[in-house]
Every structure is written in C-alpha cells, then in structure tokens.
C-alpha cells in the first residue's frame, strides 16, 4: 500500500474509519450474496420443491391413476383431431394416396406463402422421425420475403392444419434490401398406423 495513503488514513478520526470499514463489509457481503450464494440457494429451493412434489405424487396412487386417465382421454381426442384411430379408412391408404396428400400439402404451403407475400424457392423432403408414437414427416422449405411476412406465413402454416408445426428455421439476410432468406422445417405429424 502507498505510505501516503496510510498516513492519510491514520489522520482520520476513528469514527470515520469505523464507518468506512462497515461500508466495505456491507459491499463485500452484498457481492458475496449476489455472486456466490443467491443462485445455489434458489436452485436448492427448486430441487426441494420438486422433490416434495414427486414424493406426494408417488405416495397417492389415485393421483397417478387420474393423471393416466387424463392422458388417455387427451390421446383419444388427439387421434380424433388427426383423423386416426382403429377402423378408420385412412389407415388403409396406399403410398400413392400418401404422396398425393404430400403434394397437396406442399401446394397449400405455396398458396399460404403467396397470400402473405413470401416467395418459396424450393421444397425438399426431410427424413421421417419418430416422436412419441407419431411419425414426423418433414419438409425443408427455402423462402424469402420481408421479416413480418415470413412471421405471418409461419403463423398461417401452424394454424392451417392441426397436425402441422414449425420444427425449426434458420434466418439470414437476403440478397435484396429489406428481404430475409429463411430455411424452415415444417413437420406434419401422423400416427404410426397412418404413416406411409
């Protein structure tokens, strides 16, 4: 430490030295709380709350049975919305009918793009994936347009059919001013029985 500072600190009255020391302790305590203790204590509280919730659910079999019944009801309702289920004629569709449905889907995506002022440059099929008892058929679509139009188009896609969703996208600046280029993966979910 600088000897000049030591001399100046020694010349201060004891009361001011005590106040300065208390201030430094408060600053150090606040820094310790915000940077070292707060996050771990919050995480510990969250873990204990989740542990208590799991212990309560595991102890009551009626609660578990009610949750299973609700999941079964939700699954039946989802099958009805997607047009699947036992005895449904769509379960026996051929590969040709499935291909026609995919062509109609791509056509509807193009129509939605035109309505929103988006230009579609290309559509390519993506590999099928399994997701919780459903087959996810994917399409990679390259398009461009103004940012707001692209957002409206993605919203229109998800609202057009109950089994469509946006699985992912990658935006980058377009070649023209005010244009955004996008590569979007559109997923169409089907039950395993209806998959081509």
Average pLDDT across the chain, whole number: 79
Please report the pLDDT score of residue 26 as a whole number.
Answer: 94
How far is it, in rounded angstroms, from Cα 48 to Cα 50?
5
Q: Are residues 101 and 171 in the same domain?
A: yes
Range of the domain at 27: 3-53
Q: Are residues 104 and 187 in the same domain?
A: yes
How far is it, in rounded angstroms, from Cα 126 to Cα 186?
9
Please report the pLDDT score of residue 96 as a whole number.
Answer: 53
Does residue 80 surpass a pLDDT of 60? yes
Residue 81 or 149, more confident: 149
Please report the pLDDT score of residue 58 as a whole number.
Answer: 65
For 89-136, how does the pLDDT look when each residue is reduced to its tens digit (9 = 90+)?
Answer: 444 444 555 566 677 778 888 888 888 888 888 888 887 777 777 777
Is 27 part of any domain?
yes
Is 68 part of any domain?
no
* Burial class of residue 106 (count of CB atoms within 10 Å of its CB; 0-12, 13-18, 19+): middle
pTM given for the model: 0.47
Please report the pLDDT score of residue 57 as a whole number.
Answer: 63
- Total domain count, the chain: 2
Q: Can you tell me the mean pLDDT for 153-180?
A: 85
């Amino acid at each position: 430490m600088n000897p000049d500072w030591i001399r100046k600190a020694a010349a201060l009255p004891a009361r001011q030295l005590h106040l300065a020391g208390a201030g430094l302790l408060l600053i150090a305590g606040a820094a310790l709380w915000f940077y070292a203790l707060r996050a771990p204590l919050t995480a510990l509280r969250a873990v204990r709350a989740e542990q208590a919730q799991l212990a309560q659910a595991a102890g009551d079999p009626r609660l578990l049975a009610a949750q299973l019944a609700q999941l079964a009801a939700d699954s039946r309702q989802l099958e009805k919305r997607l047009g699947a289920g036992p005895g449904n004629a769509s379960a026996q569709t051929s590969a040709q009918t499935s291909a026609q449905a995919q062509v109609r889907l791509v056509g509807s995506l193009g129509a939605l793009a035109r309505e929103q002022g988006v230009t579609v440059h290309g559509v390519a099929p993506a590999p099928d994936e399994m997701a919780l008892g459903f087959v996810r058929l994917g399409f990679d679509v390259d398009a461009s347009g103004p940012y707001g139009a692209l957002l409206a188009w993605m919203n229109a896609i998800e609202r057009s059919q109950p089994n469509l969703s946006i699985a992912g996208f990658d935006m980058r600046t377009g070649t023209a001013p005010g244009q955004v280029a996008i590569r979007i993966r559109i997923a169409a979910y089907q039950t395993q029985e209806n998959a081509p």
